[in-house]
Copies of this chain bind each other. A is one copy, B any other.
């Protein structure tokens, strides 16, 4: 069923990439990206409804013997037991689930043409070279008119393997979390504000099914992407993060894009969008899909535009339709479709500071005005639905009219498009096609919530998927931060997936380090949002890390963090010695002056008080009256409230009273 046809030419640089990387370097870097993270091992949970499911978790071994399991997006790459080879593609665990459902069939598929890779003249050397770089798989499609979407199954009451997989993955391993989340005062105090979210204490497969059936979550999972480890996008699940990769006419090549994919999933990308333009985009996509454990999204209009030589006016429904089928057969899990860029909305952008900044949006706007016709994606929307449901490609309804600057935020054009996306969501749902909605962009903090409110209202809680938003325009070079702020906020407000922004946004193409920096900012945003909205499994990791920090378990502090290597490097810069990794102080204050150490003394003293049945000091008892507050030198009230502590004080001093008594081994 799978065709691996990889000639040696595969390792030559593709067409016009100016800075092509020798394949050996790529393979070396890939190998480096495959080492497990420090102190980490890959483990798996198994299904109940579908016992053969192997749902991955990353288990972090702490120095105190605890084992903390965290969500793992990195796929088989970080599993030394898995023999991955990007030249052959990943194993295909979903293949048997799909086949077992009996509603799909393999078929010959659309013949691959030179122009799929942006090549028009068969004589080109480049064309031949590119064409010989193959990593293809025979496509499947729904058997005669069947609907094979997860939403269709969900609405018929079927809990698919994908749904159970997602449920297990979202729950994580709760056993280790219990210790951290057991304190009832703390849990009450820190209880999240769901703002309309309805997250259950335990995610069951049935809950996943119900959310998918209602359209409140999607599981992007093309039947032609059997390598996928399924995940869910929805406001009642963990907030997800997307990383964009993709070559362009200016730089980058196939191998580099696969390397970025592996790298992005290592650092937590839940989905990856391949935004390639220029040459060899079909072939690049084959490589990416066959090597991707996460859902892959694309913007098919980019490839369609390449096929017409970059002239937007020459786009046609027939050509676009053919491109959708091409990509659906390859296994793309979600398509960005800018069907909301309607002709009447285009003039609304005239007075904008930055017009139309979405690539897809501007292409379609140009097509609309050149032909003086309604957007063909809008007029053919139901035909697109027919394709989507034959492969289970999810819609990501594109916000082609999103603001490109704060000045254009929440304007008439943006919200007119959003309302249209709401209408189209209902059309897609009529066909049981999974749908999410893309959102902005550039929005000042105080205008973010309105975006979420409008989206929930017009799109009936279909998952929202936003880029940022950037909360200021004045920091080119730091837009992972300007947008990380907005992303965290909108994630809390109900956004289901955050499209990352790298430091290179607006300036250049992200390299490997930029991809990591973008992901770090967005994993932070997503996690902060999970805590704020009250996801029951979110905060345990913060507590585990804080406990390690307080107990001077430096190694554990590093390893529980999002980026253990950087944390360790930073510590090494000031205190390089290994002994400092177990020291009861840190470099900020030095050995004589550690607040963490002092507070442990305080804790022991106070705990001793409590254990010995001393009356606990109440804050009210110790507080001065208003008259006292104006003359705080009188501390007699406090003194009075604290009789009995004097003795303990003496004990404390007798028992050491020093900064350097050994800490308790917890």
- The answer to whether residues A424 and B632 also contact, given A310-B659, A471-B528 and a CB cut-off of 8 A, is yes
Determine how close the nearest CB of chain B comes to the CB of A634; give it in whole angstroms.
8
Q: Is the CB of B550 within 8 A of A472?
A: no
- The answer to whether residues A476 and B561 also contact, given A366-B598, A482-B528 and a CB cut-off of 8 A, is yes
Q: Quick check: is A49 within 8 A (CB to CB) of the other chain?
A: no
- The answer to whether residues A485 and B528 also contact, given A313-B653, A546-B404 and a CB cut-off of 8 A, is yes
Q: Chain A interface residue count: which class?
A: 35 or more
Q: Quick check: is A38 within 8 A (CB to CB) of the other chain?
A: no
Determine how close the nearest CB of chain B comes to the CB of A544; give it in whole angstroms.
9
Q: Is the CB of A507 within 8 A of B596?
A: no
Q: Is the CB of B357 within 8 A of A596?
A: yes
Q: How far is the CA of A592 from the CA of B372 in the complex (A)?
A: 23
Q: Quick check: is A48 within 8 A (CB to CB) of the other chain?
A: no
Q: Quick check: is A406 within 8 A (CB to CB) of the other chain?
A: yes
Q: Is the CB of A542 within 8 A of B619?
A: no
Q: Quick check: is A531 within 8 A (CB to CB) of the other chain?
A: yes
- 8 Å CB contact of A595 from B359, B426, B635: B359
Q: Is the CB of A405 within 8 A of B355?
A: no
Residues 280-309 of A, flagged 1 when their CB comes within 8 A of B and 0 if not, give 000000000000000000000010010000
- The answer to whether residues A346 and B606 also contact, given A379-B633, A475-B524, A506-B586 and a CB cut-off of 8 A, is yes
- The answer to whether residues A595 and B358 also contact, given A485-B485, A586-B506, A635-B374 and a CB cut-off of 8 A, is yes
- 8 Å CB contact of A508 from B277, B353, B475, B570: B570
Q: Is the CB of B362 within 8 A of A474?
A: no
Q: Is the CB of A528 within 8 A of B249?
A: no
User: Looking across the interface, which residue of chain B has its beta carbon closest to that of A344?
Assistant: B622
- A653 proximity list for chain B (CB < 8 A): 313, 370
- 8 Å CB contact of A405 from B365, B371, B442, B546: B546
Q: How far is the CA of A646 from the CA of B370 in the complex (A)?
A: 9
Determine how close the nearest CB of chain B comes to the CB of A361; give it in whole angstroms.
7
- The answer to whether residues A525 and B485 also contact, given A356-B602, A563-B478, A653-B313 and a CB cut-off of 8 A, is yes
Q: Quick check: is A240 within 8 A (CB to CB) of the other chain?
A: no
Q: Is the CB of B546 within 8 A of A365?
A: no
Determine how close the nearest CB of chain B comes to the CB of A137; give it in whole angstroms.
29
Which of A305, A362, A442 is packed against the most chain B CB atoms within 10 Å?
A: A362
Q: Quick check: is A1 within 8 A (CB to CB) of the other chain?
A: no
- A619 proximity list for chain B (CB < 8 A): 344-345, 348, 412, 416
Q: Quick check: is A616 within 8 A (CB to CB) of the other chain?
A: yes
Q: Is the CB of A642 within 8 A of B593?
A: no
Q: Quick check: is A39 within 8 A (CB to CB) of the other chain?
A: no
- The answer to whether residues A444 and B545 also contact, given A190-B409, A305-B593, A342-B638 and a CB cut-off of 8 A, is no
Q: Is the CB of A477 within 8 A of B563?
A: yes
- Segment of A103-111, A320-328, A623-631 engaged in the interface with chain B: A623-631
Q: How far is the CA of A635 from the CA of B445 in the complex (A)?
A: 37
Q: Is the CB of B248 within 8 A of A524?
A: no
- A407 proximity list for chain B (CB < 8 A): 186, 190, 539, 542-543, 546
Q: Is the CB of B347 within 8 A of A609?
A: yes
Q: How far is the CA of A586 from the CA of B405 in the complex (A)?
A: 17
- Segment of A93-101, A224-232, A391-399, A571-579 engaged in the interface with chain B: A571-579
- A185 proximity list for chain B (CB < 8 A): 351
Q: Is the CB of B446 within 8 A of A492?
A: yes
Q: Quick check: is A238 within 8 A (CB to CB) of the other chain?
A: no
Q: Is the CB of B369 within 8 A of A549?
A: no
- The answer to whether residues A561 and B370 also contact, given A345-B619, A635-B378 and a CB cut-off of 8 A, is no
Q: Is the CB of B503 within 8 A of A590?
A: no
Q: Is the CB of A349 within 8 A of B599?
A: yes
Q: Is the CB of B507 within 8 A of A598?
A: no
Q: Which of A553-611 contact B (CB under 8 A)?
A: 557-558, 560-563, 566-567, 569-571, 573-575, 586-593, 595-596, 598-603, 605-607, 609-610
Q: Is the CB of B646 within 8 A of A372?
A: yes
Q: Quick check: is A350 within 8 A (CB to CB) of the other chain?
A: yes
Determine how close the nearest CB of chain B comes to the CB of A99; give it in whole angstroms.
34
Beyond contacts A343-B635, A366-B598, A404-B550: 6 other A-B pairs, Cβ-Cβ < 8 A, are A370-B652, A381-B633, A406-B543, A426-B630, A430-B630, A474-B541
**21 A-B residue contacts at CB 8 Å?**
A186-B407, A190-B407, A249-B592, A251-B587, A312-B598, A313-B653, A344-B617, A349-B603, A350-B610, A353-B550, A361-B595, A379-B632, A382-B632, A405-B543, A423-B632, A427-B630, A444-B531, A474-B527, A474-B541, A476-B567, A484-B484
